[in-house]
Structure 1
Amino acid sequence: MNVLDRLKNAYAGGGLREIARKSIFHCIYRINNYKTKFLVDHKKIEYGLNTTEAREKKVIVSLTSFPPRFANIHLTLKSLLLQYEKPDRIIVYLGSDSSREQFTNEMLELEQYGVEYRIDSERNLKSHKKYFYAMQEFPDDVVVTADDDVYYPSNWLSGFLKSYRKFPKAVSARRVHLMKKNGKELAFYNYWEDQCRRVKLPSFSLIATGCSGILYPPHCFKPETFDEATFKELCFDADDIWLKCMEVLNDVPVVWAKNWEVDLLDVADSTKGALSSLNVDYRKNDAYLHNVMDHFKIPVENFFR
């Protein structure tokens, strides 16, 4: 969304006062993003896992990557190590396109501070890797997924845990879209409410989008979620769509984890946007969604109860 569109939306939502208020928030959180970058670039690395709190349910931060991102992933990982509330594990799950020989020295150095790397040398599940392994390895724990190419502010994990404590049965996401209907059918993905912040309670109409992170409570998915053959056939390139439908099948709503930040700062230019743009521009997300709905016989009404 460009600046003109933001101004139009702000004006429609409350006039010049609202424009001023949102502009101030925008500036504050842009500054906060660059503060995060400064800390990551200059603060000494320290052990980044929980050693003080005896948690009944461990907190697992899970992400994935691939070799073209290895040059800069250490910056994202360092930002995760610098969280105020520490996770119990930080695990990077990698596929058959990766090997330790490709790791940078910076990646290897972070192992002594708590980062783990797991390589599945037999397959590459693309973006599904960020949830697929962790949720099966740690079914009784909280899994928080992250992307590999942004700076995460130091209150990122604490914000998720605050949301989880308030809504322990919901998926918490910092960035959500609100699904819409067109008559009795789902509206096209492009017509959903982008980055919705007005719905404050758990809802089946909210869909979590992954770039800013998502928290999944224990046991929030049925075994079908991990049916590799099915998600490869139906929506291999859209893990957000797949997981949304799996949540609905298991009666798990989504809640916005309250934050007022603008988009998080990228660690470097990346190819991440290409896939998401392709999915939306060519309505591939709509096709993927209907593939899954048809396969599991999910009625439209289940997203709007």
Structure 2
Amino acid sequence: MMMQEYQPEKIILWLKKDLKDEIPASLRKLEGDLFEIRFSKYGFSHRKLIHSLEAFPDKAIITCDDDVIYHPSTLRITYEEYLKYPQSVIGNRCRNITYKDGKLLSYGKWPFINQMPPYSQLVMPVGAFCVLYPAGSLDSRVQDVELFMKLAPKADDLWFKMMAVLNGTLSIKNSSEIIDPVPIIGTQFVALKTVNKGQDLNRVQWNALMDYFKLTPEKLKEKLG
């Protein structure tokens, strides 16, 4: 991220505080005005956004993963779309949350979106490809740790999607394509996406979110309509 064509104001790596004494010297040397390592008592993937929202409530925040390498154009392409749609959550890769006969299909059957319809209420940005969240775009309950650990403990993408829905914020797919990020060798063996996909936990967790907030596919469309 430090090699991006468009540099952000700040790059923060959020790590669990247990790792504080295990940071390689080569990584520590990178810290400065642009790059900073901060620590959290939490180990779940939601931490990087909930802490950043608290630290920078008036800033647009782009989330990314630390186990892939992003092309230098990624932030530029993401930010340029934000300038066109400053009130929307921007995803560079998105799936369409898909129902059939009122039943939620398995996550593997949520198709990737190639062209963004003008108003699509079931667009779910995929975090690994970078997601931009404008300031104030998510419901105030976004930082309710007890609640998201109950409803979506292994699905931060789904939790943040629901928080956008509850706030009346549209999620859209970037109309421009980024170059796919490249996984760092040796980091993908126990990836969260693999666990969720293998056990269909994304379907389970999205149903839990919908039930808790008393939403149906029809009500979801009305909420963002």
Per the normalisation by structure 1, the TM-score is 0.68
Q: Deviations 1:246-265 (Å, cap 9, x if unpaired)?
A: 11111111111234356311
- Count of paired positions: 222
Kept in 1: contact 2:121–2:220 (CA 8 A): yes
Instruction: Give the residue type in structure 1 aligned to 2:31.
Output: E
- Does the Cα contact within 8 Å between 1:84 and 1:154 map onto a contact in 2? yes
Bigger Rg, which one: 1
Give aligned-pair identity as a percent: 26
The separation in 1 between residues aligned to 2:22 and 2:190, in whole angstroms, is 24
Gaps in structure 2 of 5+ consecutive residues: none
Offset of 1:113 from its aligned partner? Answer: 6.0
- The aligned counterpart of 2:8 is 87
**Residue of 112, 117, 120 corresponding to 1:203:** 120
**Mapped partners of 1:222, 1:133: distance in 2:** 15
Q: Secondary structure at the match of 1:117?
A: strand
Output the CA distance in 2 between the equivalents of 1:247 and 1:255.
11
- The equivalent position to 2:28 in structure 1, one of 81, 91, 108, is 108
1:143 aligns with 2:53: no
Q: Which residue of 1 aligns with 2:134?
A: 217
Which has the larger share of helix?
A: 1
Gaps of 5+ in 1: 1-79
Cα distance, 1:289–1:207 mapped onto 2, change above 3 Å: same
Rate the CA distance shift 1:279–1:143 in 2: closer, same or farther, 3 A. same
After superposition, what is the alpha-carbon deviation per residue over 1:143-184, rounded to whole angstroms, capped at 9, x for unaligned?
000100111111111111111011111110111001222112
Q: Are 2:81 and 1:163 equivalent residues in the alignment?
A: yes
* Residue 59 (structure 1) aligns with: none
Q: Does 1:263 align with 2:183?
A: no
- Distance in 2, matches of 1:98 and 1:302, equals 43
Q: Give distance in 1, aligned partners of 2:148 and 2:101.
A: 28
Pairs within 5 Å for 1:48-67: none
The one-letter amino acid paired with 2:171 is V
Residue of 284, 291, 296 corresponding to 2:201: 284
Offset, 1:272: 5.8
Q: 1:182-219: per-residue Cα shift (whole Å, max 9, x none)?
A: 112332222111x3112254532110111111000010
Whether the aligned pair in 1 keeps the contact of 2:115 and 2:175 (CA below 8 Å) is no
Which residue in the other structure is 2:171 paired with? 254
Larger relative contact order (Cα-Cα within 8 Å, sequence gap ≥ 6): 2
Aligned equivalents of 2:83 and 2:24: distance in 1?
37
**Cα distance per residue 1:103-139 (max 9 Å; x no partner):** 112111111362101112xx21410112010011111
